[in-house]
Amino acid sequence: MKAKCIISSIMLLCMLALTAVAAPLPVTIERVEIDDNDLRVNDANRLDIERGQQVDVEVRLSATRALKDVEVEALISGFEFNDVERISDVTPTFDMDANVSYVKRLSFTLPDDVDEDNYKLRIIVTDRDNDEVVQNFGLRIDVPRHSLQVEDVILSPGTTVQAGSSLLATIRLENKGEKDEEDVKVTFSIPDLGVSATDFIEEIENDDDEEETEELFIRIPRCAKPGTYSARIDVEFDENHRKLSATRQVTILENEQCAKDNEPQLTVTVGSNLESVGRGGAVVFPFTLVNTGRTSKSFTITPSNVNFATVRVTPTATAVLDAGKAQTVFVTVQTNDNAPAGQNQVSVQIISGGKTLSDIPLSVNIVGGGMSLRRVLEFGVLGLLVLLVLIGLVIGLSRMRSDDEPQPKQEEKVYY
C-alpha cells in the first residue's frame, strides 16, 4: 500500500513537470530575404553587407494552428554598443491562422562604428508562453571603400554670436573607409550671409578609424540681419568625386552700433523762428537739412494745418539725402486778409521712415492795421506810374518852352 502511494506521487510529479514545460511554437519560417537575396540557415556562404547600410529583411512564416500575439524580431548581436544602439527591429504583435503564410518586413541600419567581422542574423518568432522559434543566418559586415564622416562640429564662441564678430568652427572628420583620403577639401559657410572659409587636409589615414580636426573661421557681417541661419560644413574627397555635408543652426544677434547707424539722423537749421508780417502778407522760413547718418535717407517736411494762413513747402516737401549731404527747403506762410493780429503758431514736422525726427514751432507775428504786401505793391506801382507821368509832363513843357524863345540871327560874313 505504501509502495502504491509512492508510485502515485512520482507519477503526479512527472505530470506536473510535463505541464510546466512550454510547448514549442507551431510556426515554420519558410523564407528569409535581405534586399531580395535569399538566406539559408547555417549556410557556409555569408551575405556581405556594409556598415552604414540600411538592411531590409523579409520573413515568410506559417503556423499549423491558430496563434495569438505573435512577434517576429530580426537581431544582430555582438555590437559593442548594443545597450544604447541595438541592431534590431521587431514587428507589432499579430494573430496567425492555421495553414496561412504571412510575410513580415523588418528594417534596421548598421551603425558606422560596428566592427568589420562575421555576424549572425537571428530571426526570432515568439508569442506569450510558447517556446520561441529561432533561425540563424551568416552575414559578413564589411566597410565601404571610401567613407568619411563629420564626427563633430564645435562652434566658438557658441551657436549664438553677435553681428560683426568672428565665428570659429572646429570640424572633426573620421575616415571609416578602406582607403586613405588625400587632399580633403573642407568648407565652412553661412550661404544666406555670403560668407565662407575653405582649407585642405593633406591626408586622413584609414588606420583604426583615423580622425583629423580642421579649424575654420568666418566673420559675420557687421550689419547682418538678426535671426537663425544654417551654417554648412561641406567636405569633398576622393579627387572631388565624393561629397558630404552637415549643418548647424547659428543665431545672429543684432549689432547695436549698426542699429544706431541705420537709424535716420538729421540736423536741422532754421533761419528764424519768428517773423512779422501784415495781414495778407507772406513770410518765408528757410530750413537747411543735413543727413548726419551713414546711409541715404528720405525726409518729409510736413507743416501743420492752420486757419490764419496757407502754408507750402518749396522746392519739394520730400528730400532724399545721401550720407553727409544737405539741402535747403523753404516754408512759406501766406497769411489771410482777415488773419488775427498778434503771434500765430505753425508747427513743421520732419519725418523719416514713419518716425518723427523733429517738430519745429514757427511764430508769425501779424501786425494789426498794417498793409499787406499786395497792397504795398499796388500803391508802389501806382506811385511809379504817377511819377512817370510827372516826369513826362516836365520834359514836354521844357521842350515847348525851348521852341517859343527867339533864335539869335547869324551875322552875315563878307568875303573879299
* Residue 238's CATH number: 2.60.40.10
* pLDDT beyond 50 at 416: no
Same domain, 61 and 166: no
Same domain, 308 and 278: yes
Same domain, 199 and 130: no
The residue with cell 511809379 is: 384
Q: How far apart are CA 114 and CA 107, in angstroms?
A: 17
Counting the structural domains of the chain, the total is 3
Same domain, 39 and 137: yes
Q: How far apart are CA 98 and CA 66, in angstroms?
A: 5
Average pLDDT over residues 147-171: 92
Indicate the range of 223-232, 293-302, 310-319 predicted with least confidence. Answer: 293-302
Cell of 201: 587636409
Same domain, 113 and 158: no
Q: What is the pLDDT of residue 22?
A: 54
Q: How far apart are CA 326 and CA 277, in angstroms?
A: 29
Average pLDDT over residues 262-284: 85
Residue 416 belongs to a domain? no
pTM comes to 0.52
Q: How far apart are CA 150 and CA 393, in angstroms?
A: 109
Nearest to 278 by CA among 333, 223, 237: 333
Q: What is the pLDDT of residue 227?
A: 94
Domain limit, last residue, from 142, 159, 191 = 142
Same domain, 31 and 83: yes
Mean pLDDT across the chain: 84
Domain limit, last residue, from 256, 271, 289 = 256
The pLDDT > 70 percentage for the chain reads: 84
* pLDDT beyond 80 at 96: yes
The answer to whether the CB of 190 falls within 8 A of the CB of 232 is: yes
Same domain, 222 and 307: no
Q: What is the CATH number of the domain that holds 133?
A: 2.60.40.770
Pairing outcome for strands 274-278 and 355-367 = parallel
Q: Higher model confidence: residue 375 or residue 268?
A: 268
Q: Any bridge partners for residue 118, and if so which? A: 140
Residue 405 belongs to a domain? no
Average pLDDT over residues 169-180: 87
* pLDDT beyond 50 at 286: yes
Host domain of residue 46: 20-142
* pLDDT beyond 70 at 26: yes
Q: How confident is the model at residue 148 (pLDDT cuts 50, 70, 90)?
A: confident
Q: How confident is the model at residue 84 (pLDDT cuts 50, 70, 90)?
A: confident
The answer to whether the CB of 244 falls within 8 A of the CB of 150 is: yes
Q: How confident is the model at residue 17 (pLDDT cuts 50, 70, 90)?
A: very low
* pLDDT beyond 50 at 20: no
Q: How confident is the model at residue 161 (pLDDT cuts 50, 70, 90)?
A: very high
Same domain, 134 and 162: no
Q: What is the pLDDT of residue 7?
A: 56
Q: What is the pLDDT of residue 19?
A: 44
Q: What is the pLDDT of residue 175?
A: 86
Q: How far apart are CA 190 and CA 165, in angstroms?
A: 14
Residue 300 belongs to a domain? yes
* pLDDT beyond 50 at 270: yes
Residue-wise pLDDT for 341-397, tens only, equals: 888 999 999 999 888 888 999 999 988 655 555 565 666 777 778 778 777 776 766
Residue-wise pLDDT for 112-129, tens only, equals: 888 889 999 999 999 998
The pLDDT > 90 percentage for the chain reads: 48
Domain limit, last residue, from 240, 256, 272 = 256
Q: How confident is the model at residue 303 (pLDDT cuts 50, 70, 90)?
A: very high
Is the peptide bond prior to 157 cis by the omega test (within 30 degrees of 0)?
yes
Q: What is the pLDDT of residue 186?
A: 94
Residue 396 belongs to a domain? no
Q: What is the pLDDT of residue 209?
A: 55
Same domain, 111 and 53: yes
Average pLDDT over residues 7-25: 57
Same domain, 72 and 101: yes
Residue 287 belongs to a domain? yes
Q: What are the DSSP E strand ranges found in 240-354?
A: 242-253, 266-270, 274-278, 282-291, 297-303, 309-314, 318-321, 326-335, 342-352
* pLDDT beyond 90 at 203: no
Q: How confident is the model at residue 261 (pLDDT cuts 50, 70, 90)?
A: low
Q: How confident is the model at residue 403 (pLDDT cuts 50, 70, 90)?
A: low
Burial, 393: exposed, middle or buried (Cβ in 10 Å; 0-12, 13-18, 19+)? Answer: exposed
Same domain, 157 and 248: yes
Dihedral of CA atoms 214, 219, 220, 222 in degrees, nearest 10, equals 170
Average pLDDT over residues 48-59: 91
The residue with cell 533761419 is: 271
Q: What is the pLDDT of residue 16?
A: 47
Indicate the range of 10-24, 58-72, 241-255, 291-305 predicted with least confidence. Answer: 10-24
Residue 340 belongs to a domain? yes
- How large is the C-alpha radius of gyration of the chain? 51
Residue 378 belongs to a domain? no
Residue 179 belongs to a domain? yes
- CA distances to 72, 127, 275 from 132, in Å: 10, 7, 106
Same domain, 73 and 185: no
Q: How far apart are CA 279 and CA 208, in angstroms?
A: 99
